[in-house]
Chain A
């Protein structure tokens, strides 16, 4: 089976940096995704990691360590509009994608 853990809630200050961690245990591994979901909306794709290391995309970066079953999403220069849930998802064997329960990030002035 697949088990994905991430913190339930986080609070950070506008302009700061926040790191959202995700640990996973899966049968097979074919990539890790991060999605952003604003309240009442569908999730939108942020990043995809399949090899170890850091992927940077503007203010957002995602890191993966396959040996540790660990990833993080790094958000820099936080803006109020970044307040949302951030979902970690793992594609395991047979291409099945399983989502974590999400981390609700609140950005405060």
Chain B
């Protein structure tokens, strides 16, 4: 597609429930990143996929967080047993070489 697409744009969930966030990168982009941004704060790196290489998961805050990507296509970020501290905007970005393009994000609210 023309840009990076994320869904849902907004998600409200009850504490303890699992959520799945989706990112459709720009076609042909080999690199895909997930970031978390809490209100008024900077971007916190979560995970990075590059082609078929093993992902860099060093930013995942706990084992409740996981992400998958099939080849160079869609990625899903799953948060299990959500906590209120997980409330944030989750941003996905993709890139071919440089000049990363961000999606509009998923605003997650855990109540």
Contact = CB atoms under 8 A, between A and B. Distances in A.
Interface residues of B, number: 19
A87 B99 contact: no
B45 A97 contact: yes
B100 A45 contact: yes
Interface in A84-109: 87, 89, 91, 94-102
A7 interface: no
Contact of A94 (B42, B45, B56, B102): B56
Contact of B104 (A42, A98, A102): A42
B21 interface: no
Contacts of B100: 33, 45, 97
Interface of B: 31, 33, 35, 41-43, 45, 48, 50, 56, 91, 98-105
Given A33-B99, A96-B48, A97-B33, 5 more contacts: A43-B91, A43-B102, A91-B98, A96-B45, A96-B56
The 9 closest A-B pairs by CB, nearest first: A101-B42, A99-B43, A42-B102, A102-B42, A45-B99, A48-B98, A43-B102, A42-B104, A96-B48
